[in-house]
Structure 1
Amino acid sequence: MILALALGAEGFGPHGFTGPAQAQDSPFAGDDPVAKAPSTLDQIQKKIDSLADVPTRSGNNDRELMAAKSALDDITGQLLAMKAQIAPRQDDIAARLKDLGDPPKDGQPPEATDVTQQRNKLNAQKGQVASVLNRIDDVSKAANDLAIKIITTRRELFTRQLLAHTDVSVDSMGAALMSVGPEMRKFVDLVDGWVSFAWRFKKISLASALVLSLALALGIRFTLHRLLGPVIERGKLEENPSYMSRFSVAFWSTIIPSFAFAFFLISTFFFLDNFNVMRPDIQPIINSFFGVFWLVFFAARLAIAVFNPWAPKWRLVHVSDRGSRRLVAAFVGMTTINGLDYAMGSIAQTLGSPIELTVLKGMMSSSLIGLILLVVSFTRPFLPKTEEEAEAGRPWSKRTALALRVCGVWLIFTALIGYVGLARFVATQLILTGGVVATMYIGIRSGRAVSERDRFAETMVGRFMQRRFNFGPVALDQFGIVAGLLIYGFVFIIGVPLVLVSWGFQPPDIQTWFYNLFIQINIGGISISIVGIFSGIAIFLIGVVITRWFEKWLDGNVMARSQVDAGVRNSVKTSVGYFGAIVAGFMGLSAAGINLSSLALVAGALSVGIGFGLQNIISNFVSGLILLFERPFKVGDWVATGTSEGFVRRISVRATEIETFQRQSIIVPNSQLINASVGNWTHRNKLGRIDMQVSAKAINDARHVMAILREVAGEIPGVLRTPEPVVVFKNFDGGDLEFEVRVFVGDVLNGLSVRNELRLSIFERFKAERIILKEEAPATADPPAPALDA
């Protein structure tokens, strides 16, 4: 009743207590997202309706289809964000209704009027939220259906263009040849008019664009060369470079110039466009030629990096000098022909050239590429490892030669029978996809070379880190692994989109895929975000670092100054560490987008499992976590338990593997190591004490025997001088004197050899000093050997 009066007095809105209750016609305020959702959804529905006729109206224009698909992707993202903002309101309203309780039944006392009004308002809000969410689902379905229709239309368009059959008869080719001259004159007039226009009216803008582009490109190249150039130049000085060094130099000598040249071309196009130097009719032509320039430049750099006609020791493939030159020429030639084909296609589209000329151009370029493949298949480029590079070489393998010939003949035949689009597409993929995949392979091998053991320390970055931060070999080796992973990521982030673009996928499609990959991956009802996962990991690591710093500060400042007992200090520090790690873990899980309520289900399942007989497994699991965190012993320690003694080889969350001195592996459950006493000979350090029992006859002088034992113990290699050896006269029983020699060794793992050497030295010294250990027989000239009990 008190809750009812409070709710009625103050009002309980969608966001909690909102002040005095106000009578409103709408269950939500005007600026509330739920109240604004209907108008927003109306606008979104209008956008979807305006795009509904795109598949039929622009069925032959892939650019318009791609733009419509991109707009639908934006709409879908907006709808998902709206739903994510509104959906939690259902649970909030349901919780408030549960707090209010059920309305009174017939025969029960009536409730307060304010409570009834508040319940009615919450029910109205609940109905409106449900209505908005249903509307969002309907609009999302409409957007997804239209997107699927556009994707299907684009796929059909691609198939039609790829498998389109054109006329390649004598008459059509003759007409195409007759149109070459007029089209060339039209192109020359177009370029001449633009050059005259730029020189007369845009001279300063043209010069500024070129100078700025060149300055930026040189800056990029200088920066990259500054970072990676010394590694490449130093590598080139190697007399016999390793295979991995060759891969690394090839990768960076291809990427750095290609990236700088691409930046120059892109910035030039950008400045020319923004300075209004380009006219709309010349813009697609310049764009296509810039693409051809970069493609040919990249192909030349890649071919030289792989085959290297001038430096045989840096070749990635064991080919002859003549073979390397021919392969470089073939690859660059095919790339140039294919690039000019597409540049001329852009010219033909701008000038409105006859379709026969386009067919002739595509047929000639595909046939020339096929002819080059045929010529390459008959070359003899490869060398056995024992031959010199100047030798003639041996031919391709039968399978490779056959594949090249079949591919070359197929390209020529397909173009001649009229499937020019298919032939051009296959020729393009042979060049673009092959070049990108080859570069990716070189990059992967380069990353592997950097991440090899002790290789990162040889790089410029590694030496700088060693000099600046005084990192050791182990730390540098770990950084090498990270550097290799970064190179792998760089290769795939750059290479995969290029391969997809070459196969006809548009950049907005690739952008959407990457966005969905890194922002939201839906698996059933679970949403996973790679960015969220990395954010959660980063938050967890930061939390652990802060926890460790707080532990040291609390232990070294607060408790040390308060003269708290060492045991209490250790307990408090350990508890703080566990608590901080748990809090950091929960924060990381929350940042990663993992619903913490699912952990309650896991805990409930575990409790049921424990009730059905998993006590031992859970006990071992928790004990393993304690062992891993507290580290009472570590891998390599010499431990002694109640049942076994040996070296720790592996610690897992369930059991610990101990290898005995007889090389027997014993798997000990972790709970036994936690609940029982465990001796660790090497916990703090490897310092240890060796005790040896020695007996002698009472006829000997006890002080003299003790002096001999002390002297012998001090001369044994491996025995520490501090603490010094100790000899104890333990007992005398009848005719025997019992002594104990105690020595300390720096490495208890070498105790067996020290013990053995000590026995031998005592035996030899007793024999020399004629120490009697038992009654001498009458015929014995020399004293008997001592009996050592150790």
Structure 2
Amino acid sequence: MTCSPLSARARAAALSLLTLLALLLAPLAAAQVDPVTAATARLIKAEREVRSVDGALDLSTDREARDSLRERVNAAREDAAAAADDLTDQLALVDARAAQLGPAAAGEAPDLAAQRARLARQRTAIDSNSKRGRLIAVEAQQLVEEIDRTEAEQFSQTIAAHVPSPLSPGFWGAVLQAAPRDLRRIEVVVTLATRQLAAGWRAAPVWPALLGLLLALAIAVPGRAAAVRIGLRFLIDDAPGHRVRRSGNAIWRVLVGTLTPLLASFALVQGLRWAGLVPTAVNGLADTFVQASSFAGFTVAVTGAVLMRHQPSWRVAPIADDVAARLRPFSWLLAAVAFLSITVNAFNQMVGASAAALSATQVLVALLHLLILAAALVALGRLRAARAEDEQAPARAGLGAASLVAWTVVVVATFALLLGYVGLASFIVRIVAWATVLGCATFLLMAAIDDVATTVFARDGGLGRTLSRALGVRGALIEQFGVLASGVLRLTLALFALGLLFSPFNGGNGVGALVSRLGTLAQGVQVGGIAISPGTILRGVVVLFIGLALVRGFMRWLEQRYLPATDLDGSGRNSVSLVARYVGVALAVIWALASLGIGVERIALLLSALSVGIGFGLQAITSNFVSGLILLAERPIKIGDWIRVGTDEGDVKRISVRSTEIALADHSTLIVPNSELITKSVLNKTLASPLGRIQVQFSVPLESDADKVRAIVAQAFADESAILDDPAPAIFIDSIADGRIFFNCFAHVGSPRAAYGARSAVFTVLLRRFREEGMELGTVPQRLELLSRDPAKGSERVETPDGEPRSSV
């Protein structure tokens, strides 16, 4: 039997369709791997990685190797923990299926018994692997702690190493004793390098070296100047806003100042290598030369961008011209010492210098750093003293505290150096130098972030107008978003900079591990589960100080940056500022107590125990505190309001959570407890409206022309500049009695504070005009009536001031 061509083509099409379907379903089938099998495979891989790292730690490894091992064991720990979690989930599923089967019964079906046995075996295997994963994670964490402990021990040995004092003959005697061997090592390296250099000079062409030298000179001198001019021209022509141009110029100068020495040194070294003029022995020193040149260039550029000595109008930092001019040479000296330190250390490692030579190098480098820092502090002190004598300007407490801290660092490092703790002194001065450079860079980046964020999200900017028109977003919200974005980015940058502070010094791991180990050693007496020791108390004080400093910085940002971008008035800003300040201080105190080992539950228990005593003993203070919170929340009285409390009235100057300060007219200050403002009547003249009203009352004789009187009063109101046209003045005839016409007139002024002066001016004009018109201006004359009763007539006898009797029944 033969097949027709049509059936053959149908079978071929069906086969092709099945093949395509199999190819499409293959990834899906591969993806549906048993979770238990996948988790077990991850556990096996993580265990192998942990065993490999454990074996590698048996060998003496350097810093880079330990960092690599830490990353590997951390990854293995995370894999093991994740696999154990997955197995725990699968174990829960197996338990759920076993629960569905119910308890075993006698004479149950064989398939149910077999399924129950299979589930039991699965549960045993999964539970065993889950515990195994937890154990692997624990072992990996122990390896991480061992690596950190090793680095902490090495770091502590470095900074605690003691050598003879540099002032003693023994120190320099050791240097002189090791000098012959060090000189022979240098001679060996120099001889080998000279031979390779001579061989390369004869064998390779010289033009790549000359080309590299010319390219380096072109990049370092005219290239740098051209790059600065191009960037400045672009910023002047195209950058929006003065602040963005200023910060952009600083950042561009840092980039140019860092990249030009990097590229120039790289071109020089690469040209020498292409020419075969870099011996193998000094190959590492050549790379170090490039690194040292770039770091020195970065140091000069970032400090120069902060000081901006020759362009004070482009300066970002609030630094005076004389201070910038005096500090600029020290930045060059700092860069030179950094370049010298990096290259000399690399040279010592290359030649294998002795310990005495290394100690002498550390002493010289630390001494140079200390001299630069001390000279800079002396120069700043002289400038402050001269400025205080010339301008009689008050000294700023922050600068004084910073100078005191800097001098303390100099004194401590000097004593450590003189006592023979060379490693500690070297660590201190390097931290100070790196913190100075890093602080300058962080400050410039923060200024640039703030300038860009606040300029882009300005309400009158292009983006702000677009958002307002397209989405109906208020301008204040746009500016608030810019300020908040700036704050978040600057905080992130500050945290990143804090992480980089110890990066050149063993990656920060040795320092952090040392601090953590010192924390575990600072254990004292246990009182109620809380460790009381000098270290604990010191940690609490330091944490409280840091917390209060953070609160102060946050309040400065809130009051100077964020609140001005809102639509709140001065009183609203004050309310937000006060609440934020007290909340921040409370959080700082709680943080300090938590650092002492006092948990939040203990703090809550303490507060609940003290609540009864606070309620009775501090009732008045508590009442004022709660009243202050009500004032800040409801704002019936705001800063700047004119209020009357009892017989005193004045302007509200300050509202705190305990009391309110009112400035009276005699320049004194009335301090009123907040409970008085809540529980008693207070007249707020500016709460509903900022306007003030004056009232003028007088009388004229009955025969006077009332229309003419109204015209005189209206003209007096119109001539007074303090009186407003809207609302318009009002003139009323209040009554007619005793032969006189009584007028009651009202007018409005811009503020209640202007009412008294405007009323006095109107009275002055009215007195003059009525005198000119011959009208009598006054009130009803007082009349005394004496009443007596005549017994005979049964009537009252009234004696008037004229002496004429008048009878009254």
TM-score, structure 1 normalization: 0.52
Mapped pair 1:365 → 2:361: yes
Query: Structure 2 counterpart of 1:505, which letter?
Result: G
Change (3 A) 1:333 1:738: closer
Change (3 A) 1:617 1:426: closer
Q: CA-to-partner distance for each residue in 1:377-405, whole Å, 9 max, x for gaps?
A: 999986955999xxxxxxxx9x9999989
Change (3 A) 1:254 1:85: farther
Query: Structure 2 counterpart of 1:184, which letter?
Result: V
Mapped pair 1:627 → 2:623: no
Greater Cα shift, 481-490 or 48-57: 481-490
Change (3 A) 1:90 1:651: farther
Of 735, 747, 765, which residue of structure 1 is paired with 2:751? 747
Q: Is the 8 A contact 2:309 2:324 kept in 1?
A: no
Cα distance in 2 between the residues matched to 1:79 and 1:227: 54
Change (3 A) 1:426 1:199: farther
Cα distance in 2 between the residues matched to 1:413 and 1:91: 64
Cα distance in 2 between the residues matched to 1:130 and 1:767: 111
Cα distance, 1:69 vs. partner? 1.4
Cα distance in 2 between the residues matched to 1:132 and 1:672: 68
Cα distance in 2 between the residues matched to 1:328 and 1:47: 47
Cα distance in 1 between the residues matched to 2:670 and 2:94: 64
Aligned residues: 580
Query: Structure 1 counterpart of 2:147, which letter?
Result: I
Of 421, 437, 440, which residue of structure 2 is paired with 1:439? 437
Cα distance, 1:55 vs. partner? 2.8
Mapped pair 1:344 → 2:350: no
Q: Is the 8 A contact 2:175 2:360 kept in 1?
A: no
Query: Structure 2 counterpart of 1:139, which letter?
Result: I
Greater gyration radius:
2
Equivalent in the alignment of 2:150:
153
Q: Is the 8 A contact 1:695 1:773 kept in 2?
A: yes
Equivalent in the alignment of 1:44:
46
Cα distance in 2 between the residues matched to 1:404 and 1:642: 60
Cα distance, 1:504 vs. partner? 2.4
Note the 1:419-438 alignment, pairs <5 A.
Answer: 423=422, 425=423, 429=427, 432-438=430-436
Change (3 A) 1:191 1:649: farther
Mapped pair 1:143 → 2:144: no
Mapped pair 1:260 → 2:259: yes
Cα distance in 1 between the residues matched to 2:82 and 2:683: 59
TM-score, structure 2 normalization: 0.51
The residue matched to 2:694 in structure 1 has which SS?
strand
Equivalent in the alignment of 1:519:
none
Equivalent in the alignment of 1:61:
62
Note the 1:494-533 alignment, pairs <5 A.
Answer: 494=497, 496-497=498-499, 499-505=501-507
Query: Structure 1 counterpart of 2:698, which letter?
Result: V
Q: CA-to-partner distance for each residue in 1:618-664, whole Å, 9 max, x for gaps?
A: 99799668637xxx775434468999976555677x79948485653
Equivalent in the alignment of 1:771:
776
Q: Is the 8 A contact 1:38 1:132 kept in 2?
A: yes
Note the 1:107-506 alignment, pairs <5 A.
Answer: 137-158=134-155, 163=161, 168=174, 173-189=179-195, 255-261=254-260, 264=263, 284-298=284-298, 314=321, 316=323, 331=334, 334-348=337-351, 355=352, 357-359=353-355, 362=358, 365-366=361-362, 369=365, 423=422, 425=423, 429=427, 432-439=430-437, 493-494=496-497, 496-497=498-499, 499-505=501-507
Q: Is the 8 A contact 1:681 1:748 kept in 2?
A: yes
Change (3 A) 1:748 1:441: same
The residue matched to 2:58 in structure 1 has which SS?
helix
Note the 1:692-731 alignment, pairs <5 A.
Answer: 692-731=696-735
Cα distance, 1:147 vs. partner? 0.9
Cα distance in 2 between the residues matched to 1:310 and 1:137: 63
The residue matched to 2:720 in structure 1 has which SS?
coil
Cα distance in 2 between the residues matched to 1:89 and 1:712: 94
Mapped pair 1:758 → 2:762: yes
The residue matched to 1:706 in structure 2 has which SS?
helix
Cα distance, 1:159 vs. partner? 5.3
Mapped pair 1:691 → 2:695: yes
Mapped pair 1:735 → 2:729: no
Equivalent in the alignment of 1:544:
none
Cα distance in 2 between the residues matched to 1:121 and 1:650: 78
Q: CA-to-partner distance for each residue in 1:744-769, whole Å, 9 max, x for gaps?
A: 32334312221222233333333333
Q: CA-to-partner distance for each residue in 1:37-94, whole Å, 9 max, x for gaps?
A: 4442332232212212333223x43332221112223344556767888999999999
Cα distance in 1 between the residues matched to 2:693 and 2:375: 76
The residue matched to 2:747 in structure 1 has which SS?
strand
Q: Is the 8 A contact 1:640 1:679 kept in 2?
A: yes
Query: How high is the sequence identity, in percent, across the aligned residues?
Result: 15
Cα distance, 1:363 vs. partner? 5.6
Cα distance, 1:319 vs. partner? 6.5
Q: Is the 8 A contact 2:78 2:137 kept in 1?
A: no
Query: Structure 2 counterpart of 1:288, which letter?
Result: T
Q: Which runs of 5+ in 2 are unaligned?
A: 1-30, 104-116, 164-170, 313-319, 388-402, 466-474, 516-553, 555-599, 783-809
Cα distance, 1:148 vs. partner? 1.0
The residue matched to 2:45 in structure 1 has which SS?
helix
The residue matched to 2:732 in structure 1 has which SS?
strand
Greater Cα shift, 210-219 or 432-441: 210-219
Q: CA-to-partner distance for each residue in 1:559-578, whole Å, 9 max, x for gaps?
A: xxxxxxxxxxxxxxxxxxxx
Change (3 A) 1:128 1:196: farther
Query: Structure 2 counterpart of 1:41, which letter?
Result: L
The Cα RMSD (Å) is 7.3
Note the 1:495-644 alignment, pairs <5 A.
Answer: 496-497=498-499, 499-505=501-507, 627=634, 634-638=638-642
Q: Is the 8 A contact 1:306 1:315 kept in 2?
A: no
Change (3 A) 1:407 1:51: closer
Q: Is the 8 A contact 1:373 1:404 kept in 2?
A: no
Q: CA-to-partner distance for each residue in 1:701-727, whole Å, 9 max, x for gaps?
A: 444433333333332231223443221
Cα distance in 2 between the residues matched to 1:223 and 1:130: 68
